[in-house]
Amino acid sequence: MATTTVLGAPVRQRRKPVTPYLLMIPAVAVLLLGLGYPVYWQIVTSFQEFGLAQQFGQPPTFAGLDNYARIFADDRTFAVVVRSIVFCLVTAFSTVILGLLLALLMRAVHGAVKVILQIALLLAWATPVVASVTVFRWLFDSRTGVINWLLVQAGLTQYQGHNWLAQPLSFFFVAALIIVWMSVPFVALSLFAGLTQVPDELLEAARIDGAGSTQILVRILMPLVRPVLAIVLLLQIIWNLRVFAQIRLLQDAGADVRRTNLLGNLIYELGMGSQNFGGAAAVSIFVLLLTIALSAPYVRSLMKEDAA
């Protein structure tokens, strides 16, 4: 044990135990092997000319920053980046807000209503991506879709035969509905688990002191579940920034690919469509850096709360 002096008296300081760090070594090694090598390969490939010929054994040539220069000199790439960030933030915050409302609803109701609501959320969460997108494509179909029929019945005749996927704005509205619908169950159940940790005695004491529902929510519930709220928001930003399958499946229904691509779709188009794996790797590294930049404030906030 180390010894320090406080007010002239020696005080022994305990050494931090080494065993927990030793137990973490296998898990860290697996993560480095499983995640580190792909990232290393992406970084190396982003500085190479790596196309179809290299897939058949021809050695790649060093390209320096040419891949980055070619990709980001294209105005379309800038449009995809802005589009992806806006779509990511809108869907992430919408998901968290709806998830919080559903979590509060689950806390307020009891018995069979709560069970039915939780089962419905679990079923929505468990639905495969392809099935979810297919259902929404049926709902918004221009000829036989339920949404167009309901709008026409409500007197909005301009929606007769309306193609929701033809224009980027309505395309991303449908895409955002799919993303939010698939993501809300995770957020709602996570926040509900956090809300169940709030003691009922604390809420009862607040009501006795004259606090209303809004004051209880803002001054008691929200501060107590803020760590969970920050984590689920962070996860939604990470997941929504690299969304691919939902956009691709909607594009296959007849949307304009160039006007609806997000970063994940751009990577796929460069790699699988153009066989430009060096350019695809360069965009992948940019997405990684962008994810870190968007996540950094939330990670820093979580670290400050842990330190406090």
DSSP output for 4-49? EEETTEEEEEPPPPSHHHHHHHHHHHHHIIIIIHHHHHHHHHHTEE
Q: Give one word for 136, left, alpha or beta, with left for phi > 0 and alpha for psi -120 to 50.
A: alpha
Q: CA nearest 140: which of 176, 113, 114, 109?
A: 176
Give per-residue pLDDT as tens, 46-79. 898 888 788 787 888 888 888 899 888 888 888 9
What is the domain count for the chain? 1
pLDDT of residue 6: 52
> pTM higher than 0.75 for the full model?
yes
Task: Give a yes or no: residue 246 inside a domain.
Answer: yes
Answer whether residue 88 shows pLDDT above 60: yes
CATH number of the domain enclosing 203: 1.10.3720.10
Token look-up 């709008």 returns: 151
Domain range for 210? 82-307
Reported as a single tens digit per residue, the pLDDT across 27-41 is 888 988 888 888 888
pLDDT at site 232: 92
Residue 99 lies in a domain: yes
Q: Which helix (H) or strand (E) holds 202?
A: helix 200-208
Residues 252-290: pLDDT tens digits?
888 888 899 999 999 998 888 888 888 899 999 999 888
In a domain, 186, yes or no: yes
